[in-house]
């Protein structure tokens, strides 16, 4: 069997993670957070809590990633801890909704901001969305280095522009910022407001997907997880602080294109163009990282006989899982015509955090089994993984309670894992 090549350095892997996390959500969900929590303090607290939960998850899952540095990530860990059916359920959910819907959501926001520069009809917006998926899927089929170079350039560029916006916002006084509203939102509202920020941080899991291609995984997998979450948390809290300092809570709550509106206040009419260009770069980079990482899971499943057999092929000359990438791109394109980005990321967060919680439980299960070397052990064990598991469970319940429609659609897509597993199991007999 042709193996994936270990070509990614710590910097490369961190840029993939950072590039996936700094996608569309931080430029899109601020209005939703402000509407649910009309308080600057609570708005920023939501991002801090999301960062803490993501850091706890990154530290926890990194133990599994360092011990089992294989392509496939959480699919591999859950299969080893709980058996093939649970591992398959995650991998299938990734294909059926988590990864593919995420790609569609990010690409959709990319196309929306293209509309800032070129007037697009709804159908043309969908076509631009599909074209972005197709272009980046092709780049990643051509080679790992090509995909990573694209990721590094996009990530560094958008980080520099974000830092510039933050610096401008805090270097000026904004007397016309909308006033802060004083309210006492409920715990349920706080939990609902967390969905968007958690989607914004969701790329922290990406390191485990590409563990089979990271150099010195016993060292670099946990370092990548920590570095990427820490860096993104600093940028997110600072950027949301810049929104609030410039527009105020009321202004953020009423803004659909909050980064463009913020940049317009800071830089005048040209600011809206600068802000929109930043979002284009950010979403393009995040889209690339999602495409690069997700296909590795389907490749790993196919090698186990638990996915469509052609997805197991590595293109000999290019060294990439070309068929897996193409299949992922095709389903992602289909999601473009199904739902709005807001609906898609609710499904993604609810289903993904269900499995992230199981990944935390897997740490406890595998600690009791001999024969697995652990170059890295999660810091703060058992408190950190326990807190992470409890947070994941509470988030899933709260999301189902506050958004039952999209949650039920996500559950229905997840339920297709059972017949799919039976089909692949019969083929393997």
- Give a yes or no: residue 1 inside a domain: no
Percent of the chain with pLDDT over 70: 86
**Cα–Cα distance measured from residue 75 to residue 148, given in angstroms and rounded to the nearest whole number:** 23
H helices present in 171-253, as ranges: 187-201, 206-209, 217-253
3-class SS of residue 261: helix
- Give a yes or no: residue 279 inside a domain: yes
Choose among 295, 279, 284: nearest CA to 99: 295
Helix (H) or strand (E) holding 323: helix 322-336
- Give a yes or no: residue 4 inside a domain: no
81-130 residue pLDDT tens: 999 899 889 888 988 888 888 888 888 888 888 887 888 888 898 999 99
Per-residue pLDDT at 417 exceeds 70: yes
pLDDT at 392: 93
Number of structural domains (the chain) is 1
**Residue 130 is part of a domain; what is its CATH number?**
1.20.1740.10
pLDDT at 360: 94
- Give a yes or no: residue 2 inside a domain: no
231-252 residue pLDDT tens: 889 989 998 998 988 888 888 8
* φ/ψ of residue 369, rounded to 5: -105, 130
**Cα–Cα distance measured from residue 109 to residue 190, given in angstroms and rounded to the nearest whole number:** 24
Per DSSP, 95 falls in state I
Where in the sequence is the domain holding 17, given as residue range(s)?
Answer: 10-428
């Amino acid at each position: 069997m042709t193996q994936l090549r270990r070509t990614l350095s710590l910097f490369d892997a961190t840029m993939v993670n950072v590039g996936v996390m700094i996608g569309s959500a931080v430029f899109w969900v601020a209005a939703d957070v402000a509407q649910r929590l009309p308080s600057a303090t609570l708005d920023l607290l939501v991002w801090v809590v999301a960062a803490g939960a993501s850091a706890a998850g990154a530290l926890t899952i990194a133990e599994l990633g360092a011990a089992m540095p294989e392509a496939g990530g959480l699919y591999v860990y859950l299969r080893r801890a709980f058996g093939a059916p649970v591992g398959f359920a995650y991998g299938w959910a990734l294909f059926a909704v988590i990864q593919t819907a995420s790609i569609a959501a990010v690409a959709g926001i990319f196309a929306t901001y293209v509309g800032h520069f070129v007037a697009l009809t709804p159908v043309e917006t969908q076509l631009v969305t599909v074209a972005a998926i197709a272009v980046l899927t092709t780049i990643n089929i051509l080679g790992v280095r090509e995909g990573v170079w694209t990721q590094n350039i996009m990530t560094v560029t958008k980080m520099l522009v974000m830092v510039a916006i933050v610096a401008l916002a805090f270097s000026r006084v904004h007397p016309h910022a909308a006033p802060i509203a004083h309210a006492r939102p409920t715990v349920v509202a706080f939990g609902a407001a967390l969905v968007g920020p958690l989607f914004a941080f969701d790329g922290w899991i990406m390191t485990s997907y590409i563990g089979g291609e990271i150099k010195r995984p016993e060292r670099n997998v946990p370092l990548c997880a920590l570095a990427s979450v820490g860096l993104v948390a600093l940028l997110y809290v600072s950027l949301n602080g810049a929104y609030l300092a410039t527009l105020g809570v009321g202004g953020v709550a009423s803004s659909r294109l909050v980064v463009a509106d913020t940049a317009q206040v800071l830089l005048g009419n040209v600011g809206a163009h600068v802000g929109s260009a930043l979002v284009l770069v950010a979403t393009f980079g995040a889209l690339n990282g999602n495409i690069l990482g997700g296909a590795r899971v389907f490749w790993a499943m196919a090698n186990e006989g638990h996915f469509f057999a052609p997805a197991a092929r590595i293109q000999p000359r290019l060294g990439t899982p070309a068929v897996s990438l193409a299949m992922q791109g095709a389903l992602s394109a289909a999601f473009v015509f199904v739902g709005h980005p807001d609906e898609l990321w609710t499904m993604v967060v609810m289903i993904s955090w269900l499995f992230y919680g199981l990944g935390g439980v897997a740490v406890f299960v595998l600690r009791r089994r001999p024969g697995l070397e652990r170059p890295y052990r999660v810091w703060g064990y058992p408190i950190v993984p326990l807190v992470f598991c409890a947070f994941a469970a509470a988030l899933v319940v709260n999301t189902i309670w506050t958004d039952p429609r999209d949650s039920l659609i996500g559950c229905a897509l997840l339920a297709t894992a059972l017949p799919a597993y039976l089909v692949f199991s019969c083929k393997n007999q």
